[in-house]
Amino acid sequence: MNLREQFDVPVPTIVLAEGEFGETGGKTANGVVMHSEVFDARAVVDTETAGRTPADVLDKPDAPDIPIVASVEQALDEAPEAEALVIGVAPAGGDLPDAWVSDIEDAIRAGCDVVSGLHVFLSEQDRWRDLADEHGVRLFDVRKPPADDDLRVGDGSVDEVDADVVLTLGTDCAVGKRTTTFELYRTARDAGLDASWVATGQTGIMVGAHEGVVVDRVPADFTAGVVEDMVAAVGADHDLVFVEGQASLTHRAYSGVTLSILHGAWPDAVVLADDPDRTGRTHFESFRVDGVEKEARLIEDLSDANVVAVSTWGDPAVERERHDLPVANVYDEGGSTELLTEVREGLGSAPATAGRQDVGDR
């Protein structure tokens, strides 16, 4: 899915983040407010943080100065120019909370397209389709997997892509893979490189990836093929493709999707995201985090790529002492530039993959 092609970007938007703005459960809403190149957030709906500022809630001084209110009705008063509602929270259990129904109805009646990250698909329910048709708006369910006719097993065709492919993987879930991928892409674009990126989760799609799919909704046999198709489509038009990874190869619950992304993207280089203070896995405290060295060794054993740098949450100077790899923190000033420099150097020194060129040679 490429939402850039569906809107006259950036589109003025209301972000529904009920009960989760600034929290892990609201990471999609947080990402859209901070980073989206498709949706220009004009108001946030969250009863828990209403009246505060995004800079305060997100602890980001550069967050946009927009109101946080308690309802879509109030958001429309603050931002009557809004043309879209982004549902940036997916509640546990997957269902649409009853309390959100009137908010979504208000947005549709005001002429807003609805972009949903819910596990249930609004576009497949008559009541929402009928209401959207009545008011001339569109429903986008970003978690919807590709149609069956678009699914295939991986066949190695990604090897023919001329672009350099850089995959961001991690030592655990929720260690900044999407943020690292986006920051590398944005920094590369700012440096004048013909860069693009591929998302494998809903936040990346809403932020504005050039292609994306919520990969955990794709049947396992076809995950590598779907990733191959996205990388090939984006790589046909750009010199440098950054790909968002998921989970980690050492994660007993989710390693299957990680390996499928690695094999589908078949990258020229890998950046490894890591939280050095984490010992137990997020939501799986009984599982231990295995660390940078083991993760990097598995990545290099299971692909032809080298791990060229670590994207850390910690102090880069301290982490460089621990690992025999370049380290940078994209949250530090100049950190994403430093990380991109390491990526470009890694691409320049890596053996050329069949059919590909090195970005440093262009």
Q: DSSP letter string over 91-136? A: -TTSPPPHHHHHHHHHHHHTT-EEEE--SS-GGGSHHHHHHHHHHT
**pLDDT over 50 at 347, yes or no:** yes
At residue 182's C-alpha, the angle toward residues 302 and 91, to 5°, is: 90
Closest to 330 measured CA to CA, from 339, 318, 343? 339
One-letter amino acid of 136 = G
Cα distances (angstroms) measured from residue 223 to each of 50, 117, 131, 154: 40, 20, 34, 8
pLDDT (average), residues 345-354: 63
pLDDT 10s digits, 38-97? 999 999 999 999 999 999 999 999 999 999 999 999 999 999 999 999 999 988 667 899
**pLDDT over 50 at 362, yes or no:** no
pLDDT (average), residues 341-355: 70
CB 305 within 8 A of CB 164: no
Q: Do domains 3-141 and 150-354 have the same CATH topology?
A: yes
Closest to 242 measured CA to CA, from 251, 233, 231? 231
pLDDT (average), residues 283-311: 96
CATH number of 3-141: 3.40.50.720
* 150-354: CATH superfamily: P-loop containing nucleotide triphosphate hydrolases (3.40.50.300)
Task: Give the start-to-end residue ranges of the domains of the chain.
Answer: 3-141, 150-354
Query: Residue 351: which pLDDT band, with cuts at 50, 70 and 90?
Result: very low
- Can you read off the two tokens belonging to residue 5? 């092609």
Share of the chain above pLDDT 70, in %: 95
CB 111 within 8 A of CB 136: yes
**pLDDT over 50 at 340, yes or no:** yes
pLDDT 10s digits, 212-253? 999 999 999 999 999 999 999 999 999 999 999 999 999 999
Instruction: Calculate the CA dihedral of residues 242, 246, 248, 254 and round it to 10 degrees.
Output: -150
Q: CA 235 to CA 160: how far, in whole Å? A: 10
Q: CA 85 to CA 361: how far, in whole Å? A: 43
